[in-house]
Amino acid sequence: MNRYALLVQYDGTRFNGWQFQDKGRAIQVEFENAVKILTKEEVRVIASGRTDSGVHAIGQVVHFDLSKEIPLQRLCIGLNGILDHELAVKNAYKVDLDFHSRFSAVQREYLYMIYRYPLRTPFMRYKAMWINYPINIDYIQRAASMLVGEHDFASFCKKISAKNGTIREIDSIDVSEDSNIIKLRFRANGFLHNMIRIIVGTILQMHSEAKDPEYITEILKKKDRSLSGFTAPPYGLYLNRVIYDPALNFYESAF
């Protein structure tokens, strides 16, 4: 068998998320069908993480196995010629058979995008959360910094996440702004279901209620989802980067 990894991107607006669904379009199915058309082989395409409905990816990583070898550039160009315009392959790698897009990952990086301007724009529709009121960037950074480190994030996830434990370690949260776009960059070894979106929504709600940034630590300690804020919309969230050791560029690549 030959194992291939792909660096892929997608606009998740019109999809019901990565994983196969009984109803609606699944990104996983689109990639599996494209590989089948190109290679004439049935494959299971496994992603580094199952992005939810409406969530986008800039640097998603997937892998699959083929019985035959295929040139990496042909794999990229061929799949891009088959896939819908909302999906794209950015690079392909010939990886070891023990490489796993999900379990070999050592870190994941997500971006949450907020468009801050008094008036809406069509170019940010389903691409960023829009807020039309003033917000203090330093406030967001200060509140977010309280969550860096290993904590029980039961207050910041869907209840279904609790089945496998709610302790996670966030390595960093960085906040920046450029051209009216606020970017929150989260990096960790793993995240709970809706964790980033609930953190963003909680900080924005705290800001609007004029709570002290340190109040977020009280929410964290209580381990109660009902005490945190709203869940920010999915279309502001992007899977930006998946980090491996060795890095993907260690392997033979198409480009």
Report the distance separating Cα 248 and Cα 211, nearest Å: 43
CA angle 236, 181, 88 (to 5 degrees): 50
C-alpha R_g of the chain: 19
Catalytic annotation on 52?
yes
Name the active-site residue from 52, 84, 152, 174: 52
Report the distance separating Cα 156 and Cα 230, nearest Å: 10
The tokens for 124 are: 């940010």
Which helix (H) or strand (E) covers residue 138, if one does?
A: helix 137-145
The secondary structure of residue 23, as a DSSP letter, is S
**Residues 6 or more apart in contact with residue 217 via CB below 8 angstroms:** 146
Q: What single letter denotes the amino acid at residue 86? A: E
Beta partners for 188? Answer: 108, 170
Placement of tokens 């996670």 in the chain = 168
Q: Any idea which residues carry the catalytic annotation? A: 52
